[in-house]
Amino acid sequence: MNIAIAGTGYVGLVSGVCLAEKGHHVTCVDIDEAKLELMRQGHSPIYENDLEELMRNNNAAGRLHYTSDYRSAYAHADAIFIGVGTPEMADGSANLSYLSDVCRQIAESVEQDCLVVIKSTVPVGTNDKVERFLHDFQKHPVKIEVASNPEFLAQGTAVHDTLKAARIVIGTESAEAEAVLREIYEPFGLPIVSVSRRSAEMIKYASNGFLALKISYINDIANLCELVGASIDDVVEGMKYDSRIGEKFLHAGIGYGGSCFPKDTSALFSLANSLHYELKTVDAAIQINRKQKLRLFQKARERLLTLQGLKVAVLGLTFKPGTDDLREAPSLVNIPLLLEAGADVYAYDPAGIPHFRKKYPSEVTYCASVKEALTDADACFIFTEWPEIASLEPGMFKSWMKNALVFDGRNIWKPEKMAESGVEYYSIGR
């Protein structure tokens, strides 16, 4: 099929590349000409495993194109996928301004019957409003339908999550729209869950809300473990064999971040409030996560008389490994506190430094290696479990640091191993 993609962020670009990989002819639309030229050369504007290789292959095969001319891209598309951002507003609700801008362009451009597919995470009922909006502003007498097709990709594994998804959720209000989406996804050979548009919208929020709940729950239990003298590692080991619970998203640490969980839980809670319903479980997850990000700093303040003038190594800036995304990362909460307390912060991250430097161009010393950050440091904070950080031997902290004092927010090492190497080690729930 001839498919247009509105937006080339994580959702839009990954979706477009993977659709092209399955044989569709895809045109990605963006307003940034420099970004478009970069993609035409086969370079990804986002840090994502396997994405550039697929871009180059499909560019060369002539199935993948990039343009700022939205009129030509949308005019004769069989389907238009919308993957623009829906960032959180001050009140927790979703900002739909980017979505409305794209819908206005689509309405004015389409010259044949087409299906508009919303992949962006949007409040329940948005698809209905979009369809009415498109009909209000369309310039040509063609049939425009709207379908919901939420994404479930995780940054760092987005390509795999798209090509090897556990399921594809489609929300439609007609047999014709469902048939188009089934045809588009037929080459993927994956299970398809076909529901109404509103149910599809809710599936996305309910899924992310549940995963956020699991993370906050195990972090809450980890904090209690510290008080009663239990080990969260042992507790999870005993829980994970129960098939009703499983082991995923039960890794204690300093909370979740990224572009999805914080935004989607806030949006879900805001939606419920607007309907005079209180989602107490989701609110609890949000509150626990907010406090959890401060656990390491609190431990450091309890241990140290002062941070003034100390060299503090920070390992990991991004919210998770495998991405350069800083959104809602624990580093963004903790580093300002470290600086305010007078610490000299030396930071290392294999992907996140360019973005972090834009926020703190001179206040932080950026290092080219883990060893450079740790050398002669008085304390170390670990916020992201990148492989080059997680592969450190405990003895390296003792050898390189002035004082082997480590605050680990990702529970990477066994406490007894760190103790054997002479490292004073603080983690979560142990």
pLDDT per residue over 196-207, tens digit each?
A: 999 999 999 999
Cross-strand partners of 407:
381, 426
Residue corresponding to tokens 């973005």: 355
Q: What is the pLDDT of residue 245?
A: 96
Residue 104 is predicted with a pLDDT of 96
380 part of the active site: no
Task: Reply yes or no on whether the pLDDT at 89 is more than 90.
Answer: no
| Domain of residue 394, residue span | 295-426
pLDDT per position as a tens digit, 42-60: 999 988 999 999 999 999 9
pLDDT at 156: 87
Is the pLDDT at 380 greater than 90, yes or no? yes
CATH code where residue 393 lies = 3.40.50.720
Residues 6+ apart with CB under 8 A from 45: 8, 13, 35, 38, 39
Look at the block and give the residue holding tokens 């989602």: 279
Q: Are residues 133 and 241 in the same domain?
A: no
DSSP code, position 188: G
Residues 247 and 379 placed together within one structural domain of the fold: no
Final residue belonging to a domain, choices 264, 291, 318: 291
- Based on the fold, state whether residues 120 and 167 are members of the same structural domain: yes
Q: What is the CATH number of the domain that holds 272?
A: 1.10.1040.10
Q: What pairs with residue 94 in β-bridges?
A: 88
- How far does Cα 407 stand from its chain's mean position? 24
Tell whether 188 and 259 lie within a shared domain: no
- Over the chain, what is the mean pLDDT? 96
383 and 332, same domain (yes or no): yes
The length of the chain is 430
Question: Per the structure, how many domains does the chain have?
Answer: 3
10, 46 contact by CB (below 8 A): yes
pLDDT tens per residue across span 6-53: 999 889 999 999 999 999 999 999 999 999 999 999 999 988 999 999
CB atoms within 10 A of CB 242: 9
Q: Given the DSSP bridges, would you call strands 25-29 and 64-67 parallel, antiparallel or unpaired?
A: parallel
- The average pLDDT across 101-124 equals 96
Tell me, yes or no, whether 119 and 233 share the same domain: no
pLDDT at 94 exceeding the cut of 90? no
Q: Give pLDDT tens digits for 362-375.
A: 999 999 999 999 99
pLDDT per residue over 339-353, tens digit each? 999 999 999 999 999
Packing angle, helices 10-21 and 51-60, rounded to 10: 50
Q: What is the pLDDT of residues 171-196, one digit of tens each?
A: 999 999 999 999 999 999 999 999 99
Q: Please choose, from the candidates 89, 92, 38, the residue with its C-alpha nearest in 3D space to the C-alpha of residue 266.
A: 92
Q: Are 265 and 282 in contact (CB under 8 A)?
A: yes
The answer, yes or no, to whether residue 90 has pLDDT greater than 90, is no
| Burial class (CB within 10 angstroms; exposed 0-12, middle 13-18, buried 19+) of 56 | middle
Q: Is 166 exposed, middle or buried (0-12, 13-18, 19+ CB in 10 A)?
A: exposed
211 plus 163 within the same structural domain: no
Alpha-carbon torsion angle 329, 335, 338, 342, nearest 10: -170
- 49 and 180 fall within a common domain: yes
Chain position carrying tokens 């069989």: 78
Looking at the structure, tell me whether residues 214 and 281 fall in a common domain.
yes
CB neighbour class for 390 (10 Å; exposed up to 12, middle 13-18, buried from 19) = middle
**For the chain, percent of residues with pLDDT exceeding 90:** 95
Reported as a pLDDT band with limits 50, 70 and 90, residue 77 is: very high
Q: Domain check: are 15 and 35 in the same one?
A: yes
pLDDT, tens only, 393-411: 999 999 999 999 999 999 9
Do 158 and 31 have their domain in common?
yes
Which one is catalytic: 103, 114, 260, 380?
A: 260
The pLDDT value recorded for residue 142 is 97
The rounded distance, in Å, linking the Cα atoms of 111 and 56 is: 30
β-sheet bridge partners, residue 313? 346, 380
Final residue of a domain: which of 144, 178, 195? Answer: 195
Q: What are phi and psi of 312, to 5 degrees?
A: -115, 120
CA of residue 192 relative to chain centroid, distance: 23
Q: Is the pLDDT of residue 92 over 90?
A: no
Per DSSP, 226 falls in state H
The helix/strand count (H/E) of the chain reads as 19, 14
Q: What is the per-residue pLDDT for 173?
A: 98
